[in-house]
Amino acid sequence: MQLLSFVLAGLLISRSDAFTERSWDDAYTLANAAVAQLTLDEKLGIVRGDGQLNANRRCVGETTAVARLGIPSFCYQDGPAGLRLVRNVTGFPTGINAASTFSRRLMRARGQALGEEWRGKGAHVFLGPAVDIMRNPKAGRGWESFGPDPYLNGEGAYETVTGVQSVGVQACIKHLIANNQEHWRYGLSANIDDRTMHEIYWYPFLRSIEAGVTSVMCAYNRLNGTSSCHNAGLLGPNGLLQKNGFKGYVVSDWGATHDSASDNANAGLDMEQPGDYIVIGGGVFSGLKAAVNSGSVTTDRLNQMVARILASWYRLGQDSGYPPLSFDTQNKDSTGPKNLRLNIRSAEHTALVREIASASAVLLKNNRSTTDGTPSGTTTRGLPVAASRIKTIAVVGQDAKLPNLNCNDLNECNDGTMSVGWGSGSNSLEFIVPPITAITSFVGTSATVTQSLSNDLNAGATAAAGKDVAFVFVNAMSGELGFYDTVVGNQGDRNDLDLWYKGGSLVERVAAVNNNTIVIVHSVGPVYMPWSTHPNITGIIYAGAPGEQTGPSIVDVLYGSYNPSGRLPFSIADNEAAYGTTIVYDSLGFPSIDYTEKLLLDYRYMDSQNTVPRFEFGFGLSYTTFSYSALSISTSGSSQVITFTVANTGAFAGTEKPQLYLTYPTSAGEPKKVLRGFEEVPLAVGASSSVTITLSERDISIWDTPSQTYVRPAGTFTVHVGASIKDIRLTGTF
């Protein structure tokens, strides 16, 4: 199945609708010509959303059309994992699951499929990807992004933007910058030194610029005391974006503007959304006309704002042949003329979602035993499950059942299988297939399935006692902080790293009565697993937040149709102190948060403290085994070329995800080891493959604040190649 999936991704790429992509120069020529024909009011309608309270608004954000010039109302739509508030669309795996694949191929294919659905529905701008670094594992929206490592986030950003824009849909990367917790996010100040800013939080945005991203969303929070949406150091002519070659436009997060129109426009903000006041802020561009007339915002600056927006539209060919808008988020169930109920789902997208969900499942434990003791023998305990021998099955836990499909528009419920978090980054649950449905369908009449689809401890233990296998489904959820609403007592950020609804206790009770207990964890991030060493727990799969095909994908892994190849995009430790950061919950007003940990996030901090996590960054088992050999390091120009061989030494076909970590010269002041490369290597039984990872000049450089450039430190670098940050197989130096 895995080898065939490479063909599927290729077919997905070839089926996209043709469009004409222009150079930025050509796009700006057209944009400037259009600007010259616009009236002042028409310009203002393009740079300001038409209102959250507008009854005619059909997308989460829109602008005002200029019909006489063929300029439509631009449609901005959530979210990073699928179209929100829209029917007949696909519920994709989340960003954290894309990260767990450690596969650029799947990251790009996911981006393209998302773009195809935005285009199919007539939405111009994909509000994503999110690249907010998971500074703390409890951060409410960490699952929307690609984890705590800047390199992995950067690759997720690059591939997603490339995929989305390959079909003529604008990507809007977010949230600039340091949007790392939900509590107090509407005004907190993230105080970050220059080097940390560049090497950690800015890096994914830099990679998105290199991918040609058309738009950037500025965040609610302040950076070093200045609101992100009127921070000239970020947005202005000499700010980070433009200094690094950004050609597109900056749009505010919804209601993230403050102070005056001139403050925001002159600092570099090009568009305000949604355009009116929505309690927390916004509506400042209502004063933009007066600011232009008074000269506090020049006509040249206004023209530049409009040109940047129109150039992005022209660049991706959205001025010709773009599908009309076919949905209405304010009445998504309507069949009226504004909502055509156009079905853009496809077999290819469903298959891709299922593959990514399977590829992102991380096998954390597998105490496999067979009838004859050989690797290829029939399984009696552990994974993959032998359908021919397992005749009695218990499925335990609320997380195995169908969730509430009538939850609110932000998915602020957790009463079934958790496929996505809550908030504006949630997606459609319309076509979700829960684990219990997939398991019973797969098993058919070949086995008896006993269900206990709650987290009742006694009922779970009763259902599991004496069964050939017990599948226990548990979860932990988080999401976006709205207007200080809560979900099971959690305001966006998680209160702790426990499983919800006493999930840990449920696992322990089932393991006490069943000696073949297999635990499946759906979660937005790390959770405590003190029970992982229990001898009756024969398998643990961390399945993350995998989207609508959560049931079929986990069946593929459990029964061996898909050999798990997911890798942890974060560490799983035994206490919060191991991560070195905190969420600020209580404060007298908006807090100032000093990022004193600097470059030491997650595995970097744990390494600095000699902390051994329960499961480390990059960790993930397979049903087969792999060996590494023949490390070679050579120089090509200013780059270093790392070559090595990976071989499948086990009894199953599988895919290895080799990772490259770099140790800098001591004088560089870098963490002990940092991720600087990874690859995806599918191998048949007995096969081997040569793998090459190239380290660019920037990959082996550090940010030098005095010179404001990346500088390669002098000295000896050590290359570490292996299966995780702790499982290093090969080392070399240059």
For the chain, the structural domain boundaries read 2-331, 351-361+368-564, 626-733
Q: Tell whether domain 626-733 is in CATH 2.60.40.2230.
A: no
pLDDT, position 375: 63
Residues 633, 641 contacting (CB under 8 angstroms):
yes
Tens digit of each residue's pLDDT (9 = 90 or more) over 458-475: 999 999 999 999 999 999
Q: What is the mean pLDDT of residues 585-605?
A: 96
Structure confidence at residue 4 as a pLDDT band (50, 70, 90): very low
- Give the integer Cα–Cα distance in Å for 608 and 605: 5
Query: Given a cut of 90, is residue 361 above it in pLDDT?
Result: yes
Residues sharing a CB contact under 8 Å with residue 82, sequence separation 6 or more, in sequence order: 89, 90, 91, 92, 114, 117, 427, 428, 547
Element (H, E) at 316: none
Phi, psi (rounded to 5 degrees) for 226: -110, 130
pLDDT, position 19: 81
Query: Given a cut of 50, is residue 12 above it in pLDDT?
Result: no
Query: Given a cut of 60, is residue 13 above it in pLDDT?
Result: no
Structure confidence at residue 241 as a pLDDT band (50, 70, 90): very high
Query: Can you read off the two tokens belonging to residue 228?
Result: 């992100």
Least-confidence region, from 7-11, 324-328, 552-556, 608-612: 7-11
Q: Which amino acid is at 423?
A: G
Q: Which of 3-17, 376-390, 700-714 has the highest mean pLDDT?
A: 700-714
pTM assigned to the model: 0.95
- Give the integer Cα–Cα distance in Å for 100 and 147: 9
* Cα Rg, the chain, nearest whole Å: 25
Residues 706, 683 contacting (CB under 8 angstroms):
no
Tens digit of each residue's pLDDT (9 = 90 or more) over 646-684: 999 999 999 999 999 999 999 999 999 999 999 999 999
Structure confidence at residue 282 as a pLDDT band (50, 70, 90): confident
**Of 78, 253, 263, 328, which is the active-site residue?**
253
Reduce the DSSP state of residue 518 to 3 states and report it. Answer: strand
- CATH architecture of the domain formed by 351-361+368-564: 3-Layer(aba) Sandwich (3.40)
Query: Given a cut of 60, is residue 7 above it in pLDDT?
Result: no
Residues 110, 163 contacting (CB under 8 angstroms):
yes
The third-level CATH classification (topology) of the domain covering 2-331 is TIM Barrel (3.20.20)
pLDDT, position 3: 41
- Give the integer Cα–Cα distance in Å for 669 and 702: 9
Degrees, nearest 5: CA angle 651-656-659: 150
The alpha carbon dihedral of 271, 182, 521, 131 has a sign of: positive
Query: Can you read off the two tokens belonging to residue 455?
Result: 């987290």
Kindly report whether the peptide bond that precedes residue 677 is cis, defined as omega within 30 degrees of 0: no
Residues 132, 140 contacting (CB under 8 angstroms):
no
- Give the integer Cα–Cα distance in Å for 126 and 546: 20
- Give the integer Cα–Cα distance in Å for 693 and 670: 21
Q: Which amino acid is at 527?
A: V
Tens digit of each residue's pLDDT (9 = 90 or more) over 530-571: 999 999 999 999 999 999 999 999 999 999 999 999 999 999
Query: Given a cut of 90, is residue 277 above it in pLDDT?
Result: no
- Whole-Å CA distances, 227 to 178, 221, 299, 351: 11, 6, 24, 42
Annotated catalytic residue 253 = yes
